[in-house]
Amino acid sequence: MNFWTKVASIILRNRYLVLIGIAIITGLLASQMKYMQFSYTEANLLPENHEANLEYNKFLEIFGEEGNLVILGIKDSTVFTPQKFNAWNNLVKQFDDLDEIDFTVSIADVQKLKADRNKRKFVLEPLYSENPKTSKEVLAIKKELFEKLPFYDNLLFNKETGTLQTAIYINKEIINTPVRRDFIFDKLIPIIEKFEKDNNVDVRISGMPYIRTLNAQNIQDEILLFVLGALLITAVIFFFFFRSYRATFITLLVVMVGVTWAFGFIGLFRFEITVLSALIPPLIIVIGVPNAVFLINKYQQEIKKHGQQAKALQRVIAKVGNATLMTNITTASGFATFVFVKSDLLREFGILASVNIISIFILALLIIPIIYSFMPLPKKKHLNHLEKKWIENVVDWMERMVRNQRITIYFATVIVLVLSIIGVYKIKVSGSLIEDMPKSTSFYKDIKFFEKEFGGIMPLEILIDTKKDNGVMKLSTLKKMDKINEVIESFPELSKPISVVNLVKYSKQAYYLGNPKYYQLPTTQEQGYIFAYTKNTNSDAGMLKNFVDSTGRYARITTFMKDIGTDKMDVIQERLKAVVDKEFPADKYTVSITGKALVFIKGTNYLITNLVFSLSLAIVLIALFMAWMFRSPQMIAISLLPNILPLLITAGLMGFFDIPIKPSTILVFSIAFGISVDDTIHFLAKYRQELMANQWKIKPSVYAALRETGVSMFYTSIVLFFGFLVFTLSSFGGTIALGGLVSITLLLAMVSNLLLLPSLLLTFEKKIANKEMFKEPKIKIIPPKEENID
């Protein structure tokens, strides 16, 4: 008795124990689901020891979390009436009283810097002491603010459009915890909605904490959508093909247990749910259904052939179980290559995907034969789908093409290949933090509003280390920093920068009685007495500490970026770096450009490099697996070509349709390759069986393999196509692209495996048609003998 016949015997003789074991494991994994939690930080695509991460962490160590700013904006001419003006400022005071808020900055908080000539120091006075009661008073405040206080321009207002802005700084201790979510949903949004209703105005909200919270909620909502959508569509398609409630119910049971295991493993490994790991449960449904298609199809074919249930179930496990194990191992291997990427986000995705793919195979192999063993034999109507005329016509067409039109197939392949390569050269790379966010949501529209009015919402930080205590306040250092400011202001993609330079310019303006034309850095002659005023001033320490550390050694320049891709960011970085290299000698200063958005962009480039390695590794592993399995070097090239071609076509389509390479879309290639190889293995497994039955005659073996596996491959590819199409229901651009591209790639892979693969086998039959070249495989794909289980 060979190995797989023993496995069939053990499963069917111990079916009660097996079901109890599955129930216990499912219960234990379900108990781990309570440890699942959503990620409250941005996806960090870089390894911890990467230079960009080290620079960013150093910045956080000196100045603290920079992603704790929520901004409110209002563009409404009626806001400059007493009632709405006071209501707007009172709104901010409500937030000041909350424990979750560090501090706020609004027009009501504006302090004018004035020079006290007697005490030789600067003093701060409020812009206005009492709430204005008339329109005239409001307009006077507006005039002074817009015309005489350039320090606050682009911080609290846009004087060109009259838009007002308020900054709310959330407590840094809660910014990466669930408390942030509760604050956003339970306090911030309700307070603002009430204000909008009471005053009949539209308030815009943005800032990284707000965006991250709403984005995480979207991911949470979509998990359920994906799981239910994948279950529904695969069930409908499965029933359409098999016309059996029984088969559909068994398949749904298998995948629902698989989904429970998937959620359980996320909790067991204590992984956070991210935009990638959220794809695992529906992915398991989509991958699990084809396993059921092959197993149930084989069972029904056997019943139709001889009508013996025990014999049919034994052959299902022994024949299809073996080939399905190979296909699931190759798919899991494709995902497992992510483990070698140094990104935690991808490593976790790879671990979860590979573990769950093997799990869903085991569940299908155990549950399907066992449940059928308790049921009566399928009725004739359940087997009618095996003789459907339309599917026979499809298989006949494929056989005619392979038999008579091989030149046409090759010619079409070459044309498609050339077009695909042209498309590949058109592909762009995108490292945008917000590009994948739902375009229809109000928070995305608000992002665009702040980009237009204030230059962006994603912080870009420049950290300057003078290597000396109090080195920042040297006039020479300030002038060097001002050069960087000038470059930043030359880019429309960046907002007006803010740093200690702005404060020093404001000090000079205050010294000259608030005259706006003196809003500039002091000259060498002015430096001494203006800085003397600054040293005598204690009240500006609160303003200064946001831009300079307590030792006076480190300074920061903060600007905000629009939603730009890697190309524009590279240009900006090069220009900034050129100024830094020129103005800040490396022996006296250390200057680093950092910030969450920049780390993400660098992470995207890093990810692309690593995923090319990952995909290459997957191809090499599967090639070695084919060589080990079939023991024929020629079979490696013949089996890989039909699977690499669809990847090239997809890459070409991305180029022609302007779909950029980004963290979400680059996964398409690894996912699609891992799954598409399954069809190749099923075809070659049957092909080898037919070779032995036909005394190594290639032609009859190819046609027989095509006819028998063609139906199952067609069924599974249609299920996979529509299963991945579920992801296009997402509101995230990257997930939509992922679903659509994988669906197209798998459909192309099916056509390639059913037309190009058999054509290649026939064309190169003389090279692979002898026993010496096509040796006995290391793993017996199909058992040589049938053994019955009573």
Question: Rounded distance, CA 276 to CA 688, Å?
Answer: 38
Q: Is-contact 785 320, C-beta < 8 A?
A: no
**Spatial CA neighbour of 168 closest among 194, 132, 203:** 203
The predicted model gives 604-608 an average pLDDT of 77
Say if residue 335's pLDDT is above 70: yes
Tens digits of per-residue pLDDT, 513-536? 889 999 999 988 888 878 887 776
Helices within 117-162 (DSSP H only): 135-148
Q: How many residues does the chain have?
A: 790
Of residues 642, 638, 613, the one with CA closest to residue 417: 642
DSSP annotation string for 276-288: TGGGHHHHHHHHH
pLDDT higher at 638 or 582:
582
pLDDT tens, residue by residue, 469-481 = 989 989 999 999 9
Q: How many CA atoms lie within 13 A of 428 on its CB side?
A: 13
Q: What does the DSSP 8-state code read for residue 209?
A: H
Do residues 484 and 580 lie in contact, with contact meaning Cβ atoms separated by under 8 Å? yes
pLDDT at residue 154, rounded to an integer: 85
**β-bridge partners, 357:** none
Q: Supply the pLDDT for residue 779.
A: 46
In order, the DSSP letters of 340-393 are: GSS-HHHHHHHHHHHHHHHHHHHHHHHHHHHHHHHSPPPPHHHHGGGG-HHHHH
User: What is the radius of gyration, based on Cα positions, of the chain?
Assistant: 33
Q: How confident is the model over 372-423, as pLDDT tens digits?
A: 888 887 776 666 666 667 777 888 888 888 888 889 999 999 999 999 999 9
Answer yes or no: are the C-beta atoms of 423 and 653 closer than 8 Å.
Answer: yes
Pairing of strands 272-273, 37-38: parallel
| Tens digits of residue pLDDT in 716-748 | 888 888 888 888 888 777 778 888 888 888 888
Confidence of residue 253 (pLDDT cuts 50, 70, 90): very high
Which amino acid, residue 261? Answer: W
Q: Which residue has the tokens 């001419």?
A: 77
Domains present along the chain, CATH in parentheses: 3-42+213-425+600-768 (1.20.1640.10)
Give CA–CA dist 414/74, Å, rounded: 57
Within 467-550, where are the H helices? Answer: 475-489, 500-511, 524-535, 541-544
At residue 541, the pLDDT reads 46
Task: Answer whether 234's CB lies under 8 Å from 725's CB.
Answer: no
In this prediction, residue 241 carries a pLDDT of: 78
pLDDT digits (tens, 9 = 90+) for 433-468: 677 777 777 878 898 899 888 888 888 899 999 999
Among the listed residues 252, 245, 251, 175, the one whose alpha carbon sits nearest the alpha carbon of residue 208: 175
Angstrom distance (rounded) from CA 44 to CA 55: 14
Token output for 588: 């006296």
Q: What count of Cα atoms within 13 Å lies in the side-chain half-sphere of residue 24?
A: 6
Check: CB of residue 222 under 8 Å from CB of residue 731: yes
| pLDDT, mean of residues 233-257 | 86
| DSSP secondary structure of 750-766 | HHIIIIIHHHHHHHTHH
- The DSSP element (H or E) to which 171 belongs, if any, is none
3-state secondary structure of 125: strand
pLDDT value of residue 773 = 44
Segments in 169-279 forming alpha helices (H): 178-183, 189-199, 208-242, 245-268
pLDDT at position 543 is 60
Q: What is the mean pLDDT of the chain?
A: 83
* C-beta neighbour count of 95 within 10 angstroms: 23
Q: So what's the pLDDT on residue 771?
A: 53
Which of the residue ranges 35-44, 269-278, 304-313, 677-686 would you say has the lowest mean pLDDT?
Answer: 35-44
Per residue in 151-179, pLDDT (tens digit) is: 888 888 888 888 999 989 888 888 878 88
Report pLDDT digits (tens) over 182-227.
899 999 999 999 999 999 999 999 988 888 888 778 777 888 888 8
Tokens of 470: 């109090």
pTM: predicted TM-score of the whole model, two decimal places: 0.77
What is the identity of the amino acid at 713? M
* Cα atoms in the 13 Å half-sphere on the side-chain side of 573: 17
With residue 492 as reference, give the H or E element that holds it.
none
CB 382 within 8 A of CB 373: no
Q: How far apart are CA 259 and CA 279, in angstroms?
A: 11
Most confident stretch, 100-109, 325-334, 586-595: 586-595
Q: What's the CA gap between 254 and 293, in Å, rounded?
A: 12
**φ, ψ for residue 215 (rounded to 5)?**
-65, -45
Distance CA(278)–CA(220), nearest Å, equals 8
